[in-house]
Amino acid sequence: MLVSMATFEHLPIRVGGLAEAVTSLGESLRKYADVMVLMPSHGLLEKDVGGDFAHRPLKYCDFRIFVGDRDYPVTVYATERRGVRIFLFSNEVLDHPNVYQPREIFMQKMVHFTKAVPGLLNVFLKKEMVKPDIIHINDWHCVFSGALVKKYFKIPFVFTIHRLCHERISVHDLNEVNLSELVDNNFLEGELFNIEKFGAHRCDHLTTVSYSYLNEQWRNFFSTFEGKTTYVWNGTDHAFWNPAELDYAHLSRPERRARLLQDNGLPDGVLFFNVGRLDAEQKGIDVLLNAFKLIMQNEVGGAGNVRDQIRFVLLGSGDQHLEHEARQLQEQYPLNMKAIIDYLGRETTREFYGAADFCVIPSNFEPFGLVQLEAMCMGCIPIGTKVGGINDTVIDLHYNSEECTGRLVLPRNPAALAQAMVEMASVTVGAEDKLEGMRTRGREHVIMNFNWDKAAQRYLLAYQNKATIKLPFVSYAEPY
């Protein structure tokens, strides 16, 4: 089987979890199929990608595409990464180094990519005399290319929604770039055309990345496509997210924690850690900052007993207001909080997971989420919200005290989050054994249930149209 995956992110181009997911899936599919990845170059050809690819990207072909009243050259470069063939599309638009910004260029990139994918397949068929069996479209940016490939090459397409964006484009804009053949009146909302609905309708199989997200978005979106819709969990790289790989693997967790805190100018204590994009809409970082304030201001039951022990390290960057607020909190509580407004790379992040007691993941919604899996792999207990992939992957202490791997609370609720943090900090002081059990189970749970080989096998079923399952859509489909 030859699987072609269309995506806007693939390592080393990474904006968010999409890159990790597509890259890992491609690698794991290799055991069962041939895989080719199609994506815009995003300026990668100018960068030193020595370590990332098996060889420097080499020119594969060139052709022209028509956009509006102009024609543009497109050159496709080919390389390989861990057995996966990577095709990078290059021209003045597709080379823009920012993946999604500015919006105007991004939309042009989407149009150029839409036309360049069938362009490459044309050449590919002639050169290699083989046709991909499936095109796997990742997120709405690639939907139109999937629709054209299906129409002109009769290749079925699987559409995976990593995060619903409700993206719309005007009919006028589609006509302007001569893509009016894609306009389908069924998906018009006024003058605007709903790209995800169109993709979900046209695809042969629709997937998203967790059972809970499918439930949460069922009425709103997925129910219309019942019968060809399912979920496939992502996995994580547990060989990398492994405590044995830590710089200070020979030290105990409390020793590592004391050391890391000292390096960051904080005394030892109970360490809560958060890593990722500082964003309020999805990641709920404002909720976390408010929860921390409530604890520090003694406004949570039991906080008085643990307040002085609380240490909170925030690692990430993003929204400027949140960055500012985090810095202010650090000034206000210099013995309790450290804000590292930066991206420190995977290896350093691993040291934080390997030292922290708890990882707080306050997302308002999270289609899958990788942080809770990485944390569990590293023995760092997740305290997360009961949404999407966090809900699917973390077993809550209050739900099953024998099998629990973390603590779950309702989203958008600083008081509930603060209460859970205080509760877990209190356990740290009295019942370390209980926490040790959670740490060990967490890693085992991830290795067994959320690995990329399982994901690859399930996608293969989707590619062969065998993965549809009737889901018992339960009551929490109501928004919280």
| Residue 21 makes contact with ligand NHF by CB under 6 A | yes
d(CA 257, CA 267): 10
d(CA 278, CA 284): 8
Taking the least distance from each CB to ligand NHF, the nearer of 357 and 366 is: 366
Please report, as residue ranges, which positions from 252 to 311 form the binding site for ligand NHF (by CB under 6 A): none
Taking the least distance from each CB to ligand NHF, the nearer of 162 and 253 is: 162
DSSP-derived secondary structure letter, 224: G
Give min distance, CB of 238 to ligand NHF, in A.
16
Taking the least distance from each CB to ligand NHF, the nearer of 28 and 234 is: 234
Give min distance, CB of 8 to ligand NHF, in A.
12
d(CA 221, CA 214): 9
Please report, as residue ranges, which positions from 158 to 187 form the binding site for ligand NHF (by CB under 6 A): 162-163
Which string of x and - marks every residue 372-401 that binds ligand NHF (by CB under 6 A)? Answer: -----------------x------------
Q: Are residues 405 and 438 in contact, defined by beta-carbon separation less than 8 angstroms?
A: yes
By CB under 6 A, which span of 90-98, 340-348, 367-375, 448-456 interacts with ligand NHF? 367-375
Residue with tokens 């804009």, as numbered in its chain: 173
Give min distance, CB of 231 to ligand NHF, in A.
11
Give min distance, CB of 99 to ligand NHF, in A.
13
* 446 φ/ψ sector (left φ>0, alpha ψ -120 to 50, else beta): alpha
* Spacing of C-alpha 428 from chain mean position: 30
* Per-residue tokens: 273: 């850690």
Among 5, 18, 295, 380, which residue sits at the site for ligand NHF (rule: CB under 6 A)?
18
Q: What value does the CA radius of gyration of the chain take, rounded to a whole number of Å? A: 23
| Residue 209 makes contact with ligand NHF by CB under 6 A | yes
* Per-residue tokens: 347: 């290896």
Give min distance, CB of 267 to ligand NHF, in A.
34
Query: Which of 125, 116, 126, 135 is closest to 33 using CA atoms?
Result: 135
Taking the least distance from each CB to ligand NHF, the nearer of 75 and 229 is: 229
* Per-residue tokens: 305: 């007993």
Closest-by-Cβ residue to ligand NHF is 17
Taking the least distance from each CB to ligand NHF, the nearer of 243 and 384 is: 384
By CB under 6 A, which span of 14-22, 85-93, 269-277, 350-358 interacts with ligand NHF? 14-22
183 CB-contact burial (10 Å; exposed 0-12 / middle 13-18 / buried 19+): middle
Taking the least distance from each CB to ligand NHF, the nearer of 158 and 370 is: 370
Query: Which of 236, 242, 243 is closest to 450 using CA atoms?
Result: 236
Quickly list H helices, 100-189: 103-128, 143-153, 171-176
Give min distance, CB of 160 to ligand NHF, in A.
8
Taking the least distance from each CB to ligand NHF, the nearer of 285 and 370 is: 370
Taking the least distance from each CB to ligand NHF, the nearer of 22 and 84 is: 22
How far is it between the farthest Cα atoms of the chain? 72
Among 369, 379, 382, 442, which residue sits at the site for ligand NHF (rule: CB under 6 A)?
369
Q: Count residues contacting ligand NHF (CB under 6 A)?
A: 14
Among 2, 11, 16, 471, which residue sits at the site for ligand NHF (rule: CB under 6 A)?
16
Give min distance, CB of 24 to ligand NHF, in A.
10
d(CA 367, CA 158): 18
Give min distance, CB of 218 to ligand NHF, in A.
17
Please report, as residue ranges, which positions from 215 to 244 form the binding site for ligand NHF (by CB under 6 A): 234
Instruction: Spell 233-253 as b/e; 16+ CB within 10 A means b.
Output: bbbbbbeebbbeebeeeeeeb
Give min distance, CB of 375 to ligand NHF, in A.
14
By CB under 6 A, which span of 194-202, 334-342, 360-368, 460-468 interacts with ligand NHF? 360-368
Identify each DSSP E strand in 205-303 by its residue range. Answer: 205-208, 229-231, 270-275
d(CA 9, CA 39): 7
| Residue 462 makes contact with ligand NHF by CB under 6 A | no
Q: Which of 161-164's residues contact partners 24+ apart within 8 Å by CB, and which partners? A: 161/196, 161/200, 161/206, 161/207, 161/208, 161/209, 161/367, 162/17, 162/18, 162/21, 162/138, 162/208, 162/209, 162/367, 162/368, 163/139, 163/282, 163/367, 164/196, 164/217, 164/221, 164/367
Taking the least distance from each CB to ligand NHF, the nearer of 277 and 307 is: 277
Give min distance, CB of 234 to ligand NHF, in A.
5
CB count, 10 Å around CB of 318?
Answer: 15
Please provide residue 35's backbone torsions phi and psi, each rounded to the nearest 5 degrees.
-130, 135
By CB under 6 A, which span of 235-243, 292-300, 312-320, 362-370 interacts with ligand NHF? 362-370
Give min distance, CB of 367 to ligand NHF, in A.
4
Residue ranges that bind ligand NHF, judged by CB under 6 A:
16-18, 21, 162-163, 209, 234, 366-370, 389
